[in-house]
Amino acid sequence: MTVHIGAQKGEIAETVLMPGDPYRAKWAAETFLTDVRLVNEVRGMLGFTGTWNGHPVTIQGSGMGMPSLSIYANELIRDYGAKTLIRIGSCGGMQPHVGIRDVIIAMTASTLSTPSRGIFKELNFAPCADWSLLRAAVAAAEAKGTKTHVGGIYSSDVFYDERPDLNEQMTRHGILGVEMEAAELYNLAARHSVRALAVLTVSDHLQTGEALPSEDRERSFGDMVEIALTAAFA
């Protein structure tokens, strides 16, 4: 048990999927796992452990933003022995060829700042995904026939962004989508020598203004969860 996670020792699996929304964690656990049990509800940040194809899996909400994810990822790694952490979540598309419902598998995650900036100081560390997870996720997406994009994403500090100039430069430099957590997850994975990946569903688009209808979200997010689970145990 930690300050933010109420699970007992042995209740957290070595493989953890991390959606931002705790209710998305509940949906994913009940939809894809068997023998599901609630292992955390501290501050309403729900976590569940069950099995997928016989493999133990925990799905733990991370909250919104890198500071919140940093709390949960640190405790999962340091106190519960998590070895593989995969962010599953939504993102905003930034390239014309990236469509609503497409899946983005993040090779790298650029950012203005993360909670790790105090450690790196003047160094612009380049956090990236684990190659074995990345390769397995791409293979899983191709096997499913899911339209997938692999490349760099942008992890923003803010949801209500007022930097159109920065968004323009991100798009100019090939950034596929924007979200708020992956860069810090990749930093922590590098620091603690564990595996990390972000598999994201495009739910809206910064250029076109399109947004995924709520009734379509579960089907689209389901592809993302299946890709993440398959990659974790490839």
Tokens of 228: 């993440």
| Cα distance between residue 207 and residue 196, in whole Å | 29
User: Does 204 qualify as catalytic in the annotation?
Assistant: yes
Burial of 135 (0-12, 13-18, 19+ CB in 10 A): middle
Is 220 annotated as belonging to a binding site? no
Query: Which sign, positive or negative, has the C-alpha torsion 222, 223, 228, 230?
Result: positive
Is 20 annotated as belonging to a binding site? yes
Is 193 annotated as belonging to a binding site? no
Is 155 annotated as belonging to a binding site? no
| CA 16-19-22 angle, 5° bins | 105
Is 179 annotated as belonging to a binding site? yes
Q: Measured between alpha carbons, how far is residue 19 from residues 69, 163, 172, 184 in Å?
A: 10, 26, 28, 14
The counts of H helices and E strands in the chain are: 7, 9
Burial of 131 (0-12, 13-18, 19+ CB in 10 A): exposed
Which run of H or of E encompasses 16? Answer: strand 15-18
**Residue from 21, 157, 161, 204 carrying the catalytic annotation:** 204
Is 135 annotated as belonging to a binding site? no
Is 99 annotated as belonging to a binding site? no
How many residues belong to the chain?
234
Is 10 annotated as belonging to a binding site? no
Is 163 annotated as belonging to a binding site? no
Is 88 annotated as belonging to a binding site? yes
Is 214 annotated as belonging to a binding site? no
Give catalytic residues, as residue numbers. 204
State the binding site for phosphate.
Answer: 20, 24, 43, 87-90
State the binding site.
Answer: 4, 20, 24, 43, 87-90, 179-181, 203-204
